[in-house]
Structure 1
Amino acid sequence: MTKILEDLLQDHRNLARLWDLLGRELNVFKEGGLPDYALVESILDYCINYPDLCHHPKENLIFEKIRERDPAAVGAIGDLKKEHDKLVALTWRFSTAVSNVIDDEQLPRDWFMDVANNFLSFSRNHMQMEEVLFFPAARKTLTDEDWKDLEETVENVEDPLFGKQKQEKYQGLYQEIMDWGGMSDGTKNTGSAP
Structure 2
Amino acid sequence: MDALDVLSLEHRHIQRVLDVLERAVERGRAGEFVSASLFLRTANFLLTYVDGSHHAKEMVLFQTMLAHQLPLNPGLLAQVSGEHGTGGEQAKALQRAAEATLREGMDPGSMLAAAEAYLQLHRGHTDVEETQVFPLARRLLPAPVLERMRTRFARIEASHGPLVDAAEVMLRAFAPTRPSRALAVSSVRSF
TM-score scaled by length of structure 1: 0.77
Aligned to 1:89: 89
CA distance in 2, matches of 1:106, 1:176: 21
Aligned to 1:138: 137
- Match of residue 174, structure 1, among 172, 175, 185: 172
In the TM superposition, what are the counterparts of 1:69-148 in structure 2 within 5 Å? Answer: 69-70=68-69, 72-75=71-74, 77-79=76-78, 80-104=80-104, 106=106, 109=109, 111-148=110-147
**Structure 1 residue 82: Cα displacement:** 1.9
CA distance in 2, matches of 1:37, 1:112: 8
Greater RCO (Cα-Cα under 8 Å, separation 6 or more): 2
- Residue 21 of structure 2 contacts residue 115 of structure 2 at CA under 8 Å; is this kept in 1? no
User: Is 1:40 aligned with 2:42?
Assistant: no
- 5+ residue gaps, structure 2, are 179-191
Residues 172 and 144 (structure 1), Cα distance of their counterparts in 2 relative to 1, 3 Å cut: closer
How many residue pairs end up in the alignment? 174
Aligned Cα root-mean-square deviation (Å)? 2.7
- 5+ residue gaps, structure 1, are 181-194
State the one-letter code of the partner of 1:30: R
Aligned to 2:164: 162
Percent of aligned pairs sharing the same letter: 20
- Residue 93 of structure 2 contacts residue 114 of structure 2 at CA under 8 Å; is this kept in 1? yes
CA distance in 2, matches of 1:108, 1:21: 17
CA distance in 2, matches of 1:18, 1:113: 15
Q: What SS does the aligned partner of 2:99 have?
A: helix
CA distance in 2, matches of 1:177, 1:161: 18
User: Is 1:152 aligned with 2:151?
Assistant: yes
User: Is 1:57 aligned with 2:59?
Assistant: no
State the one-letter code of the partner of 2:82: K
CA distance in 1, matches of 2:65, 2:94: 32
- Residue 48 of structure 1 contacts residue 88 of structure 1 at CA under 8 Å; is this kept in 2? yes
Give the structure with the higher percent helix.
2
